[in-house]
Chain A
Amino acid sequence: SPLEQFEIRDLLGLTSPMMDFSFINITNFGLYTMITLLVILTMNLMTNNYNKLVGSNWYLSQEMIYDTIMNMVKTQIGGKVWGYYFPLVYTFFITIFTMNLISMIPYSFAMTSHVVFVVSMSMIIWLGTTIIGFYTHGLKFFGLFLPTGTPLILVPLLVSIELLSYFARTISLGLRLSANIMAGHLLIVILGGLLFNLMAMNILTFLLGFLPMIAILGIVCLEFAITIIQAYVWCILMSSYLKDTIYLH
């Protein structure tokens, strides 16, 4: 089944007749989380050109990512406080970006396609921004749900709509990412499966199969673009939510 690729499997675990140790099992999800951490650390620590003043060519890529996210956060949040939230946004970006790229390698595992994981992250962000809002503005934070200049008669309607859209952010932020990644991976695997069946039929179909393979290659390129764009979109929305709570309207 194309959905097999998303299964979480135990790779290493402890069994005991006394107690259930399954909560410390190392799963493929745990393994890929560690791989992600390793890749991020490697990209940041091993590319500094032996601590020389000018980094290596790999280091430049990290610098470019840093610069892009910094400019985005500066534009989105602005003001004087954008710098407080930049490390958080950058950490989210580099984590999701690396996870997405790792998931594109064949035989690997797509962590960001797991709704429970990604929506948990988006919920944490939503909760954090709400706490920041109440901490900064107190009860005036509720002003976020009422656009200025609203006629009195429309106030209940608009407040309920705004409240709904505010709560919907919890799900929408995470769902957008995981749905995109899941859809992309499913599409590639389904197309791959179809092509494999076609090519396995006989020598003629095997040779003909190379044509649609080029189309799949195009879709893979597109998927790579989506993985990068989704990580960026996550950070843009996160910054926008932060801006909303910091400055209200």
Chain B
Amino acid sequence: MSTPAPQDPKSKAAAILDSLPGSTALSKTGILATSAAAAIYAISNELYVLNAETILLCTFTGFSFLIAKLVAPAYKEYADKRMQHVSGILNSSRNKHVAAVKERIESVSELKNVTETTKVLFEVSKETLELEAKAFELKQKVDLATEAKAVLDSWVRYEASVRQLQQKQIAESVIGKVQAELANPKFQDKVLQQSVADVEKLFASLK
């Protein structure tokens, strides 16, 4: 254990004097003198009787002094720490709350032009719907035209085949008639005579 540093007697005396009420040396002396006189007067006139309780008063004063010097500072330190702790918790929670409110305000303020955006989105969706309707209409038209073209094409093909058939029939009938005509002896004679005449004519021209 280290011995405590010796205290300057002058400063000790000054500290005791300072602890007395009053600001000047005169008032301090006055208070001391008055209290001593009051004590003497009270005791001599039996206003205050010295007895066993006086000893207890002294011990109680000593106890109060001990409490004030030893316990009170420790309690004050503990209490201050505790109060700081509680205040710290309250302040931090308040700050957190403020931050949370600010964050909320910011998140809400981001949505401040939500009406405009919704209107635009509605317009766009309306336009999309109109375009979709138009596209559907056009698709229907195209489908109709395709179907009509297919029908017409089939008609054309049918007509062509009918025509081809008719031409074939005509050709067959013509060929048949021609062959029948060729099989006719009169016609054969006539052709022969004609041919002979043509040959004679040719020869005659050559001469």
A residues whose Cβ falls under 8 Å from a Cβ of B: 53-54, 57, 60-61, 104-107, 188-189, 192-193, 195-196, 199-200, 213, 216-217, 220-221, 224
Report yes or no: B63 in contact with A107, Cβ–Cβ below 8 A: no
Q: With A105-B60, A224-B63 in contact, do A54 and B87 touch (Cβ < 8 Å)?
A: yes
Give Cα A148 to B85, complex, Å.
49
**Complex: chain A residue closest to B87, CB-CB:** A54
Give Cα A134 to B155, complex, Å.
111
Report yes or no: A189 in contact with B59, Cβ–Cβ below 8 A: no
- Tell me the minimal C-beta distance from A27 to chain B in angstroms: 20
**Complex: chain A residue closest to B54, CB-CB:** A196
Subset of 26 A-B contacts with CB under 8 Å = A53-B90, A57-B75, A57-B79, A57-B80, A104-B60, A106-B53, A106-B57, A106-B60, A188-B56, A189-B56, A192-B56, A192-B59, A193-B55, A196-B50, A196-B51, A196-B55, A199-B55, A200-B50, A213-B58, A216-B55, A217-B62, A220-B56, A220-B62, A221-B63, A221-B66, A224-B63
- Tell me the minimal C-beta distance from B84 to chain A in angstroms: 9
**Complex: chain B residue closest to A107, CB-CB:** B53
Which range holds the interface residue count of chain B?
20 to 34
Given A192-B59, A216-B55: 5 more A-B contacts, CB < 8 Å:
A106-B57, A192-B53, A196-B51, A213-B58, A213-B59
For the complex, would chain B's binding face be called helix, strand, loop or mixed by DSSP majority?
helix
**Complex: chain B residue closest to A209, CB-CB:** B55
Provide the residues of chain A in CB contact with B54, threshold 8 Å.
196
Report yes or no: B63 in contact with A220, Cβ–Cβ below 8 A: yes
Residue with the highest number of chain A CB atoms closer than 10 Å, among B50, B51, B55: B55
Q: With A57-B75, A60-B79, A60-B82 in contact, do A193 and B52 touch (Cβ < 8 Å)?
A: yes
- Tell me the minimal C-beta distance from A231 to chain B in angstroms: 18
Provide the residues of chain A in CB contact with B51, threshold 8 Å.
193, 196
Counted as pairs of residues, one from A and one from B, with CB atoms less than 8 Å apart, the total is 63
Provide the residues of chain A in CB contact with B56, threshold 8 Å.
106, 188-189, 192, 216, 220
For the complex, would chain A's binding face be called helix, strand, loop or mixed by DSSP majority?
helix
List residues 69-108 of chain B with CB under 8 A from any CB of chain A: 75-76, 79-80, 82-83, 86-87, 90
Provide the residues of chain A in CB contact with B59, threshold 8 Å.
188, 192, 213, 216-217, 220
Report yes or no: A192 in contact with B60, Cβ–Cβ below 8 A: no
Provide the residues of chain B in CB contact with A193, threshold 8 Å.
51-52, 55
Give Cα A170 to B169, complex, Å.
142
Report yes or no: B82 in contact with A196, Cβ–Cβ below 8 A: no
Q: With A57-B75, A220-B60 in contact, do A195 and B90 touch (Cβ < 8 Å)?
A: no
Provide the residues of chain B in CB contact with A192, threshold 8 Å.
52-53, 55-56, 59
Provide the residues of chain A in CB contact with B86, threshold 8 Å.
54
Report yes or no: A195 in contact with B55, Cβ–Cβ below 8 A: yes
- Tell me the minimal C-beta distance from A106 to chain B in angstroms: 4
Provide the residues of chain B in CB contact with A61, threshold 8 Å.
75
Provide the residues of chain A in CB contact with B82, threshold 8 Å.
60
- Tell me the minimal C-beta distance from A58 to chain B in angstroms: 9
Give Cα A196 to B56, complex, Å.
10
